[in-house]
Amino acid sequence: MSKIVGRTLDFLEIFADQKRPLSASEIARLLDIPASSCHDVLQALQERGYLYEISPRGGYYPTLRIYDIAKTISDYDPVVLRTDVLLRALRDKVDESVLLSKVSGLQATYLLSFEPSHPLRFLATVGENVRSLHATSAGKALLGSLGEAAFAAFLKSANLAALTPRTITSKSVLRAEIAAGNKRGWFLNREESQEGVTTLSARFVWTSQVYIITVAGPTSRVESKIEKSAELMTNICKLLESPSTQEA
């Protein structure tokens, strides 16, 4: 990543992390960058209307320009437009967290996250990548989308670390697990990545790209919903892959 681009993103993210106005010296210290570099980015963001100075000694804070631009982008996101209503309905029917991720190589990035009504819930941050491909249902769905050569290459170099007592650490067992998931059309993680958490995932293809839908929550609630969730999820995937939906 370009240093300038990375540093500018760091500036925006530090305000979200700190949740308060920050002075130039505080930003430079928190980001561990030279004061001169800090000043250059601050000046550019202020000139473009992304930051404003509270007062001469009050520090800087982002304007709502960031929010307005993000909302406009979100409102016209083609993936959101296609999936939002269906995934919200899925969330309402199962009342568990529903996530959408996009596959790129051996990574899957969360694009959408819909939370349930329960205070105890599975949380995933939009923009983060799915972790531990061998131990998560979304990771297994990703692995199941690979061709034989790519999957074999993954297995050859993979470190199947045990995250819980239920994590699959055998490459032959993982291969069988992926084959079983591909056959039934969905993938299961029953406390393999985190104790007390069960997730299931299915994938669909749109414009030649792979997307993954995940239902996640505490095992105590999800266990009795697995079959229902899998049926709803796979039906949505079929709908999203249908020609009529893709033309919409």
Q: Could you identify the residue written with the tokens 């016209």?
A: 76
Q: Model confidence at 247, in pLDDT bands (50, 70, 90)?
A: very low
For residue 245, pLDDT over 80 is answered with no
pLDDT at 138 over 90: yes
User: Count of CB atoms within 10 A of residue 107's CB?
Assistant: 12
Q: Which residues contact 193 (CB under 8 A, 6 or more apart)?
A: 131, 132, 135, 136, 163, 164, 167, 199
Contacts of residues 240-244 at CB distance under 8 Å and 24 or more positions apart, as own/partner, are 240/82, 240/83, 240/86, 240/204, 240/206, 240/211, 241/204, 241/205, 241/206
Buried b / exposed e along 31-67 (16+ C-beta atoms within 10 A):
bebeeeebeebbeebeeeebbeeeeeeebbebeeebe
195 or 36, greater pLDDT = 195
Higher pLDDT, 245 or 139: 139
| CB distance 160 to 134 below 8 Å | yes
Query: Is a pLDDT exceeding 50 seen at residue 64?
Result: yes
Tell me the pLDDT band of 244, cut-offs 50, 70 and 90: low
* 136-141 average pLDDT score: 98
Residue 57 above 90 pLDDT?
Answer: no
Confidence of residue 1 (pLDDT cuts 50, 70, 90): low
Percent of the chain with pLDDT over 90: 78
- The pLDDT tens digits of the residues spanning 5-20 come to 888 899 889 999 999 9
Domain 3-68 has CATH 3.40.50.720: no
Residues of the chain with CATH 1.10.10.10: 3-68
Question: What average pLDDT does this structure show over 199-216?
Answer: 96
CB 37 within 8 A of CB 19: no
Residue with the bigger pLDDT between 193 and 75: it is 193
Collapsing DSSP to helix, strand or coil, 53 comes out as strand
- Residues ≥6 apart with Cβ < 8 Å to 156: none
- Tell me the C-alpha distance between 111 and 77, whole Å: 10
**Tens-digit pLDDT profile for residues 101-137:** 999 999 999 999 999 999 988 988 899 999 999 999 9
Q: Which has more pLDDT, 11 or 88?
A: 88
d(CA 186, CA 178): 9
Q: What is the mean pLDDT of the chain?
A: 92
* Rounded distance between C-alpha atoms, residue 141 and residue 185, angstroms: 9
What's the whole-model pTM score? 0.77
CATH of 77-247, one of 1.10.20.10, 3.30.70.870, 3.30.450.40, 2.60.40.10: 3.30.450.40
Query: Is the pLDDT reported for residue 89 higher than 90?
Result: yes
- Express as a percent the part of the chain with pLDDT over 70: 97
Output the pLDDT for position 248. Answer: 44
Delimiting residues of CATH 3.30.450.40 domain(s) in the chain: 77-247
Instruction: For residues 148-165, give the mean pLDDT.
Output: 96
Q: Would you say residue 246 has pLDDT above 50?
A: no
